[in-house]
Structure 1
């Protein structure tokens, strides 16, 4: 997807006066381009079939969220009459129009890929068939299944003068049924909500002994409508789906009760305006026009036809099929090599730390969860403080915090109840923690707390000592096996002092004269610090010295950072960016970014790590943390990045970055027109992610070997 024209014959671009469309890529369009890269994974024959199916489901779900958050927000701007330009010079309506065009193109690719996968799955013994293809015996069995399990969940809603157009919930799958009375020929319309996720799966296994065969829930309902509308003749059944705006944030500063405000936002979100309707091709123009009007959509713009299934995100259900031959080899995270055989994690950190934890290659359970578990039980631990942005229902994090409180420790948890789409869960966790006597706070008014921190105060033999975990990812046991993240376990006294200041800020909101020795927290210190680091590299380069910057984040959207990196390139600084999705910077443009490269890694695990590296005239600096290079992260969230000073950890980070920059299997490189080109791998070199798996396993085996040798020597 080309979004910009390369600047030709320009020795030195004047950043202050340049056309923004020529030097900055659009946030929304680069995000769509990232999903095109994800979708490409579904076409790769070397990837197992069910894993390829997973990528289709991921893109479908990502697109839903894009409409809910990004298109919803742009539509609000248009509705409010705002015509201010984005940093790349586009009006809100221009962004919507260009996004719609890109998404329609991507949808075509998605449906084409899905059809191809259906053919390949059929050959592998997995098939989604039509109800009418079933034998009469199997149809009878499915009808009985419908009567027992589905029929009680369905509530048809008529549409006539006595019954107004019904409420249609967000992301629901719906049937529009047109029928007529056999005797009078008088027609009627009704809407049926397909109860996916309400105790029912989208794909129903018909229990064929010879293959994995499924029918869809909507197909089952359509073929048993006689039970819902007895005596009626069914004329047509159309399938449609809607997406509602999720941007419903209220003025937090005027709220007397934050939880009540968030609960109000959730109620508003349920009733928020619809921003998209999807429908299966073949819907009549009359029905399409009627639905568009009732849903307050512009028919030719806000409606999206599909030649195949809607809501392909539901294909994730098929990942449960027990076919190991069609999935990636099982991955089992290993223990960190320096925690192998250690009875006391605090002694290990004090003696052998700090430790760099690499998820999902190393175990979240035996490192981060263990850190909190041991803190909850250790009689010498006096207090625990933690930030909680997202967690999972099967995570032991909440249980360990409650155990700590019951064991007499002072426990403080900063719960971010505004974490998008996790608000309800986080409110439940907050209430649960408060019921256990834990001090729960909700952070700073007007700022989301996105930092990933656990802070433990322990009475060691030589006095109070502070231990900490600072990470790049959420305390979520599910994503810890799917996301590539980093974390540090440390007893550094300066970091402990900084965390004392930070948590005092989070629990009181008071900011005067807070000094930090090592941490760079947002929104006050991080952005100025990063800008100063970039300027320092520029000054070194201008003085004829080596300048080198490496940044690995999910996104690079902040304009000030982007322009600073351009200035660095113009000064001769080598800038290597590993940016997963949104990136405003254009790589390799003469006079603008000749020394900038942009790499995007799309693989088995979701890249989620944030690393900041600056050469600093040989005094190299590495930071990790929770923040992306986005305006919201740097200026309207509480974030933290921490310097990593131990040489062994710096060596690991250098190896990590080198390995990803040299990846030939999963890497895409940005071209000078803003598009991406997938790197070629003629010798089938393992991906960076596979290399990290193998390296973690090798470290673990070596640690076990040394442990065994030590044990034998003591016998």
Structure 2
């Protein structure tokens, strides 16, 4: 459905610049004095690690297009060259903000709290002697200076490694040589002298004469290289595991996309780095202050609870609190669909208990699950192994191409295979991103299937940090659909139809379009009509066009997009009834909840898919309809809370700019995440009080 735009601006916002706006919001939180100090430091670290991945994947892709002479413009009208230029300008501005924040606010505030991050010049003689002893014993043995000269080519610099570039001069011959000293990755970034913390590169830089005896150190500068880390596995790969391992080896040698260097570096040092790394000046970013502030995460591990959020302990979902054994867990699901929201409710006493019940219950005969990412201490992995050892059918779909978790997934999938679990790796050309688990149980009436479908990974660590929802159900049609998805991935064939699930790439897009049009038709008929979307990224042009059409038809459209949003809201004649916000806070807003209200009829879905072409067309994704009245009510309350937040929300304007919302009631902001924490605690207390009265 086409929509005419009445504005000069492009119909869509630029995806890459929208992502940089998201990372700017992360930096806003690092600048927020209302956050506990070490939480501000954590956001500063997250900003840097986010930016690394952005360059490794998105910027690398644009540079590949530029190198290939790819002249097609993006949906917002930019060529790859124009996009790269705008990205550079934005990144220079953001990294300057981060450097200023560290120098003027975070570092002084840490020092005031007894966590000084200092310099060599601040160390006294006795402190320096102790530091030298430690350097000789613990640091010097793992350093390897690599000089450049005749017979000594410029060394290979691994991606994201921190290095010292050194210009050393022979006083007898006046010959100057460039050398690289890699900052060891196996050591802590900050060295504790007893009085202060010193960056490791500062310590190494001070003792460089030990590495270059008899030479004069003319200059030292810290630099860091970012390489292309994305990869594609050939559609013709016969052995997917072998193909992914091969690509992992190749990733180490990806093209250089960015070089960060201390702003103090001389023109001569910059020239040597550019020549040695074969990069253009536009790829070099001069940084004031410390490079790689992702390592600031080390400081957040200090035992200073007074400088952090009060620890949050998830509660057990009230219905699950009465479950005493594995069989009771399945009884509870059979009583009615059950919704759980992490991290407010416990992942351990919900999904992990479900997996453990499958392993311990003698009536369970099969367990199948799809895993995109998981933790090293995963109870799911243990449950799968236990099932296999008991002779139960145990199947795990492992997505080997989960970006930056490929190596870990390879390792534990081999562990599963060795224990007798049937491990399937999916397709070379399509990721399995669905989060679903199927348990088959022998009961009095025959076999019954139980299902969990969630919005987040089966990962115990991130379940404490990411906001996600999951649905437990024994609905026969949903269970049959999930079984068909598993059979499609493990077998050979193409599903003809699904009963209730929306499955990509088999019709999810078409069904979502139908839902939006149904709302638009209700609006055009003068009835109540509303679309509410909570997701990570809104990128798909077809879906955005349908939302524009629904808006012009009179429907209200509310979008909460955590990171990228290419939709342009509030444009006259196009999107006047659309508002977009983003919530960033203590927990990462990760769930996908899609609600469509058309008159008296409404549908609501949760699942793994964002509204992006890759999710709708090139991945195995699942959205499940939530039909249970209580579960729908709970999801409605979540959406109400999301769109009422004015404590940690940003609003998107028609010109593409984001601004932080001010509380509707001055001095009394509504914090969506804090409200859900209070709600979880209140429900838990009511349950405890009820038991006490009994």
1:7 matched to which residue of 2? none
Q: CA deviation digits over 1:152-195, x for unaligned, max 9?
A: 22111111111100000000100011112233332222101101
Q: CA deviation digits over 1:258-291, x for unaligned, max 9?
A: 1111111111111110000000111111221221
2:37 matched to which residue of 1? 49
SS of residue in 2 equivalent to 1:379? coil
- The alpha-carbon deviation at position 654 of structure 1 amounts to 0.9
2:409 matched to which residue of 1? 426
Q: Please give the TM-score of this superposition, normalised by the length of structure 2.
A: 0.97
Supply the distance in 2 between the matched residues of 1:630 and 1:429 (Cα, whole angstroms). Answer: 29
**Is structure 2 residue 322 aligned with structure 1 residue 341?**
yes
* Preserved CA contact (<8 Å) 2:169 2:176: yes
Supply the distance in 2 between the matched residues of 1:589 and 1:388 (Cα, whole angstroms). Answer: 41
1:286-685 residue pairs with structure 2 within 5 A? Answer: 286-299=268-281, 301-344=282-325, 345-513=328-496, 515-681=497-663, 682-685=666-669
* Preserved CA contact (<8 Å) 2:320 2:329: no
Supply the distance in 1 between the matched residues of 2:510 and 2:163 (Cα, whole angstroms). Answer: 50
1:173 matched to which residue of 2? 162
- The RMSD of aligned alpha carbons is 1.5
Q: CA deviation digits over 1:601-654, x for unaligned, max 9?
A: 011111101000011321211100000011100110000000111111111111
Of the structure 1 ranges 66-75 and 610-619, higher mean CA displacement relative to structure 2 is found in: 610-619
2:93 matched to which residue of 1? 105
- The alpha-carbon deviation at position 518 of structure 1 amounts to 1.0
**Is structure 2 residue 21 aligned with structure 1 residue 40?**
no
* CA 433–472 in structure 1, closer or farther in 2 if over 3 Å, else same: same
Supply the distance in 1 between the matched residues of 2:14 and 2:200 (Cα, whole angstroms). Answer: 39
1:696 matched to which residue of 2? 680
- The alpha-carbon deviation at position 684 of structure 1 amounts to 2.6
2:108 matched to which residue of 1? 119
Supply the distance in 2 between the matched residues of 1:20 and 1:267 (Cα, whole angstroms). Answer: 47
Supply the distance in 2 between the matched residues of 1:368 and 1:246 (Cα, whole angstroms). Answer: 33
Supply the distance in 2 between the matched residues of 1:32 and 1:415 (Cα, whole angstroms). Answer: 31
What is the aligned residue count?
Answer: 689
* Preserved CA contact (<8 Å) 2:7 2:571: no
Q: CA deviation digits over 1:671-715, x for unaligned, max 9?
A: 1212111111223334100111111111111122223334xxxxx
1:150 matched to which residue of 2? 139
Supply the distance in 2 between the matched residues of 1:416 and 1:119 (Cα, whole angstroms). Answer: 44
Q: Please give the TM-score of this superposition, normalised by the length of structure 1.
A: 0.94
1:687 matched to which residue of 2? 671
SS of residue in 1 equivalent to 2:470? strand
* CA 509–578 in structure 1, closer or farther in 2 if over 3 Å, else same: farther
**Is structure 2 residue 264 aligned with structure 1 residue 279?**
no
1:4 matched to which residue of 2? none
Structure 2 unpaired stretches of 5+: none
- The alpha-carbon deviation at position 351 of structure 1 amounts to 4.8
- The alpha-carbon deviation at position 397 of structure 1 amounts to 2.1
- The alpha-carbon deviation at position 19 of structure 1 amounts to 7.8
* Preserved CA contact (<8 Å) 1:613 1:622: yes
**Is structure 2 residue 46 aligned with structure 1 residue 62?**
no
Q: Determine which of 229, 239, 244 is the counterpart of 2:227.
A: 244
* Preserved CA contact (<8 Å) 1:341 1:707: no
- The alpha-carbon deviation at position 82 of structure 1 amounts to 0.8
Supply the distance in 1 between the matched residues of 2:149 and 2:6 (Cα, whole angstroms). Answer: 58
- The alpha-carbon deviation at position 327 of structure 1 amounts to 0.5
